[in-house]
Structure 1
Amino acid sequence: MVKKIIPCLDVKDGRVVKGIQFVQLRDAGDPAELAVFYDKEGADELVFLDISASVEGRETMIDVVKKTAAQISIPLIVGGGIRTVDNMQQLLEAGASKISINTTAISNPSVITEGAKTFGSNKIIVAIDVKWSKDEQEWFVYTHGGQKKTDWKAVDWAKEVEKLGAGEILLTSMDRDGEKDGYDIAITKLVKDAVSIPVTASGGAGNVEHILAAFTEANADAALAASIFHFKETSVREVKNYVRERGVDVK
C-alpha cells in the first residue's frame, strides 16, 4: 500500500500555530499560504485543525477552509469543534475532503455512524489522542484538546470507531506531541494491528528516521508531522526521497 506524508496545520484564530504537548503555542504562518506551499512540495494530504474550537467552544472557521481549499489540489482534512452532521456538511461544502472528529466521537458516538451514512465512511476520520498511564500500564483516550481523560483504552476505542463506521483513524501520542523524539511506535502498531482501516501516526516526528520508523516498525498507513515541516527542518520532498530509497512505497 502506498504510504502518505501529511503535514498538519494547527489553526487558532486564523493563524497556524505549533505547541508542545498541546500548549505553549507559537505562530507558524498563514494557513492558506502554507497549504499552497505543501501542495507544491508533494504532500499527499493536509490536516487543518482548529485547536481553538473544542477548548474555547468555537465552530471551525469556514472561511479559512474555503480560502485554503480553493488554492490547493490535494485533499484537505478538517477537524476541531465539529459536533453535528450539519457541521460536517458545512465544511465539506466549503471544500474539505474529509472530516476529523475527536471529542464529539466520544461524547456522541452516533455522529460517526450518521456521518458515515450521510457522506460515506471515506469522509469520516476519528482522531484519537492517547496518553500512557503509568499507574494502569495502559494507553487511555483523551478529549477536549487533550485535557480530559476518558475511560476508553486506546485499542478498544479504535476497534469501536471502526465498528461505528469511521473510515480512518488519526492516532496522536500526547506524550510525544511536539517533543520531536519520534512517534510512539508501540501504541501505533497495537492500534494498526487491531483494525482494518487506515491508521495515521501522529505526535513526535523530529526527523526523517522517525517517519521511516512509523512505516517500517508500526506499519502506519500515513505519517503526520507539523513542527519539522513548518520550521523548515526538513521537507516533504526530502522525507519522500528518504523513505523511498529505503523501500517504502510513497507517491
Structure 2
Amino acid sequence: MSRVRLIARLDVKAPNLIKGIHLEGLRKIGDPNEFARRYYEQGADEILYMDIVASLYQRNSLLDIVERTTRDVFVPITVGGGIRSTEDARAAFRAGADKVAINTAAIHRPELISEMARSFGSQAMVLSIEAKRHAHAAGWEAFTDNGREHTGRDVVEWAKRGVELGCGEILLTSVDQEGTRAGFDIDLVKAVSTAVPVPVIASGGMGSAEHLIDVVKSGCADAVAMADILHYGRSDLASIRKATANAGIDVRIVE
C-alpha cells in the first residue's frame, strides 16, 4: 500500500465553513480560510473544499476562498461542488486548485469525466461519490445533492465506470456515517477500493484516530478525509498522524 494521505475536508456554504450530520442540519463553524491555514500548519497532506450549495454565486465565492487559501497554504487543494464543465474546472485551477471533484455533473453526463481527464490529466480528475446503503438489499446507491437525490446507480459499478472514463481518484463519502463520529463504512470502502485500481479517499464518520487506522487496514483506503474531529477540536492532525504511524501505517513525517 502506498503512503496514506491525511486530508482536511472543509464543506463550505459561502462564505462559511459548515458541518452537519448525514450532510444535513448544517451549522456554521467559521472562516474556512482560517481553518485551512490551521490544518496546513498542523501538517495536513491535502485540503479538500466542497461547495455544498453549488449555485453560481456560491461557486464564485468558493473560488475566492481558494485564491485566498493558496497565499498561505502550500499543499494540494481539491475543489468540488458546482463543477459542471471543463470551463468551470479551468476556473478552479486558475484560482489555485490542483484537482477538481465532480459528482452531479458526472451522473448527468458521464462523458464529462473523459473530457476533464483529456483536458487536465486523470491525476486532476476526482470522481466524488455520495453513497447510501440500501435499506432492504445488499450494496449501496450513489446519490447527489448532499445525499438527497437518488441516481439509481450502484456505487461499485459507478466507481468502475468512472475509472474507465478516466478519473484518477475517487472521493467516497458515506452519507450514512457522515458526521456521526461512529467510524467509516469499512465494507463500503473495501468494496470500492478492491474494485478499482485508483486511490480511494474514505470520507464520513471519523471520530478518532482508531477509525482512520481501521479503514486503512481493513477497508484499504488510500487516503482519509476528516472534518468534524478537526473542526471541533476533538483531536489535531499531529496527534492523528502520530497514532497512525504508531499503528504501522506509512504516513508523511512532519517535522
**TM-score category, normalised to shorter length:** over 0.9
Per the alignment, residue 23 of structure 1 pairs with 24
- 1:59-86 CA distance string (max 9 Å, x none): 3422111111222001111001110100
TM normalised by structure 2 equals: 0.95
How many Å apart are 1:245 and its aligned residue? Answer: 0.6
Per the alignment, residue 163 of structure 2 pairs with 162
- 1:199-241 CA distance string (max 9 Å, x none): 0001100111101111111110001110000111011111110
Query: Aligned ranges for residues 97-246 of structure 1 at < 5 Å?
Result: 97-246=98-247
How many Å apart are 1:152 and its aligned residue? Answer: 0.8
Asked if the contact 2:13–2:58 (Cα under 8 Å) also holds between the matched residues in 1, the reply is no
d(CA) in 2 for partners of 1:194 and 1:58?
35
Per the alignment, residue 44 of structure 1 pairs with 45
Given residue 153 of structure 1, which amino acid in structure 2 is its aligned partner? D
Asked if the contact 2:47–2:76 (Cα under 8 Å) also holds between the matched residues in 1, the reply is yes
TM normalised by structure 1 equals: 0.97
CA RMSD in angstroms comes to: 1.2
Asked if the contact 2:6–2:45 (Cα under 8 Å) also holds between the matched residues in 1, the reply is yes
d(CA) in 2 for partners of 1:162 and 1:60?
28
Count how many residue pairs are aligned between Structure 1 and Structure 2.
250
Per the alignment, residue 71 of structure 1 pairs with 72
SS state at 1:194 partner:
coil
SS state at 1:241 partner:
helix
Asked if the contact 2:11–2:51 (Cα under 8 Å) also holds between the matched residues in 1, the reply is yes
How many Å apart are 1:58 and its aligned residue? Answer: 4.8
d(CA) in 2 for partners of 1:97 and 1:124?
9
Asked if the contact 1:60–1:82 (Cα under 8 Å) also holds between the matched residues in 2, the reply is no
How many Å apart are 1:57 and its aligned residue? Answer: 8.3
SS state at 1:16 partner:
strand
Given residue 64 of structure 2, which amino acid in structure 1 is its aligned partner? D
d(CA) in 1 for partners of 2:42 and 2:57?
34
Runs of 4+ in 1 over 6 A off after TM superposition: none
Per the alignment, residue 59 of structure 2 pairs with 59
Unmatched segments (≥5 aa) in structure 2: none
Asked if the contact 2:3–2:250 (Cα under 8 Å) also holds between the matched residues in 1, the reply is yes
Per the alignment, residue 12 of structure 2 pairs with 11
SS state at 1:53 partner:
coil
Given residue 7 of structure 1, which amino acid in structure 2 is its aligned partner? A
SS state at 1:155 partner:
helix
How many Å apart are 1:138 and its aligned residue? Answer: 2.2
SS state at 2:38 partner:
helix
